Amino acid sequence: MELLFDKKHSEAKHYQSELLQYLERSNNYIVAYFSIERLKCITTFEANGRALVKLIISNVMKMIQLKFPNQPHLIYSMEGNEFVLIFDNPDPFVSHDFIRKGINEVVKDTEAPVELEVSIGITQSFFNMKNGQIVLNKAYYYMLFDKLKSRANNQINIGKQISFETACNHYQLERDLKLAFTNRELYTVFQPIIHKNGSIAFEALARWKSPKHGQVGPNEFIPIAERSLLIEKITEQIIRNTVSIINKHKEIKYITVNLSANVIANDNWLLNILDTIMAETKFERTALAFEITEQLTLTHKHWDSITAICSLGHSIFIDDFGTGQTGIDHLLNSSVNGVKLDRKFISEYMMENKRKFIVSTIDLLKALDLFVVIEGVEFQSQNQFIQTVNYDAVQGYLESPPIEEYLIPNYLESKLIIE
């Protein structure tokens, strides 16, 4: 491996010139152009940021060397956080996917204050192609496309401007959120869902009690987790906690777990996690359900993922129904099992002025053979109102706030006594 990187712009140009000369001397090579994201955040917000970034880059390069030990390759530093990895006369098994997976694993496994991300563009020389600049440019544009695609998947508003103070606070929260897994600061609470027929279900909800920030609300840390890809770790932890409770308390009909757009899009990861937990615990698939908030923008890929999840026996609920973009065609043609009406449906104004609208909406959903849960029931007036509509289950603070795991046995026992 030849490792060349320097901060000086003139020397970076020299290395690029040397790289192009090398490419034009070779006839068979693969170019992987990759950008390590989040390094600028570390430089900006860490006290020893520059030295830390230099160490991170050094570790990435060493790990890449170990990841591809039997393949002749060189790595060049371009400008900033961008690098070019060259495989010269690669073996036939060295595919683009093989290289992409290897680089992803290296960056993901590299120790850093926050989760590192990587954008990768890969291309290959072709017969009698002597212009290395074209091949390099092609890999560069593929890398840019990968970066933009990642931002779209993470629902990042590229044009949104925030203050330095806000950015610093977000970074500190993300840094501490990553440490929260090691320090066991994240935990799961469960809010009861009471069915009309007396069955009891729960919704699993993530909570974070930080020694530095106090009780951090999910509306604050979940978006940060989604942007930094920590959301997969949080989702897996909640699923494992949920499955443990399902296996302990067979009287629970099901427990729902919320899925973000990132997790749904990465359905291979989710399906593999579910298969792994099934092999470990032998849980009942129908007892683990999932919620997808209607406020997410779901693509055809998301809906295909939903169908794959349902095919395993898991139910899917559309959460916050009435606040987003779920069309009737999606409800007709997808595998969605039910909806959770947003609390706005039973606001004082809606109950007093829009009763016909509420009734007709629920009747339409029932005509589509969907299970209807009414959320946000907090007052007796709301409870009295919903007794006049065709609902299936209710959820809200009037019945119970979210409770910690150790309180579930007492709650279940109290419901059995009442019955």
| DSSP codes, 305-323 | HHHHHHHTT--EEEEEETS
Q: Do 237 and 149 have their domain in common?
A: no
Instruction: Report the C-alpha gap between 62 and 56 in whole angstroms.
Output: 10
Q: Do 349 and 321 have their domain in common?
A: yes
Per-residue model confidence (pLDDT) at position 8: 35
Per-residue model confidence (pLDDT) at position 339: 92
With contact defined as beta carbons under 8 Å apart, do 12 and 78 qualify?
A: yes
| Domain assignment of residue 162, yes or no | no
| Domain assignment of residue 161, yes or no | no
Q: Do 335 and 411 have their domain in common?
A: yes
Last residue of a domain, one of 153, 185, 220: 153
| Domain assignment of residue 240, yes or no | yes
Q: Do 248 and 134 have their domain in common?
A: no
Per-residue model confidence (pLDDT) at position 14: 42
Instruction: Classify residue 335 by its DSSP letter.
Output: -
With contact defined as beta carbons under 8 Å apart, do 102 and 49 qualify?
A: no
- Distance set, CA 156 to CA 20, 151, 230, 292, 299 (Å): 35, 5, 15, 19, 16
Beta-strand (E) ranges in 274-391? 288-293, 316-321, 338-341, 371-374
Per-residue pLDDT 10s for the chain (419 aa) are 334 443 333 333 346 677 777 777 777 888 999 999 889 888 888 888 889 999 999 999 889 888 888 776 788 888 778 899 988 888 888 889 999 999 999 998 999 998 898 999 999 886 555 677 888 888 989 998 888 776 555 544 444 556 767 777 878 888 899 889 889 999 999 999 999 999 999 999 999 999 988 999 998 899 888 877 789 999 999 999 999 999 999 999 999 999 988 888 887 889 999 999 999 999 999 999 999 886 666 777 788 888 899 999 999 999 988 777 666 767 776 788 999 998 889 888 888 888 899 999 999 999 999 999 999 999 999 999 999 999 999 999 999 999 999 999 999 998 875 54
| Domain assignment of residue 392, yes or no | yes
| Number of domain units in the chain | 2
With contact defined as beta carbons under 8 Å apart, do 303 and 330 qualify?
A: yes
Q: Do 85 and 224 have their domain in common?
A: no
Per-residue model confidence (pLDDT) at position 11: 37
Task: Supply the pTM of this predicted model.
Answer: 0.76
Instruction: Report the C-alpha gap between 304 and 27 in whole angstroms.
Output: 41
Residue 3: partners with Cβ closer than 8 Å, 6 or more residues away: 61, 75, 77
Q: Do 231 and 323 have their domain in common?
A: yes
Q: Do 232 and 367 have their domain in common?
A: yes
Q: Do 186 and 231 have their domain in common?
A: yes
Q: Do 201 and 132 have their domain in common?
A: no
The angle, 0 to 180 degrees and rounded to 10, between the axes of the packed helices 300-311 and 267-281 is 10
Q: Do 142 and 280 have their domain in common?
A: no
Q: Do 117 and 220 have their domain in common?
A: no
Last residue of a domain, one of 93, 121, 153: 153
> What's the CATH number where 12 sits?
3.30.70.270
Residues pairing with 82 in the sheet = 35
| Domain assignment of residue 165, yes or no | no
| Domain assignment of residue 163, yes or no | no
Q: Do 272 and 146 have their domain in common?
A: no
Per-residue model confidence (pLDDT) at position 2: 39
> What's the CATH number where 211 sits?
3.20.20.450
Per-residue model confidence (pLDDT) at position 335: 83
State how beta strands 252-258 and 288-293 pair: parallel
Instruction: Classify residue 407 by its DSSP letter.
Output: G
The range of the structural domain enclosing residue 296 comes to 173-418
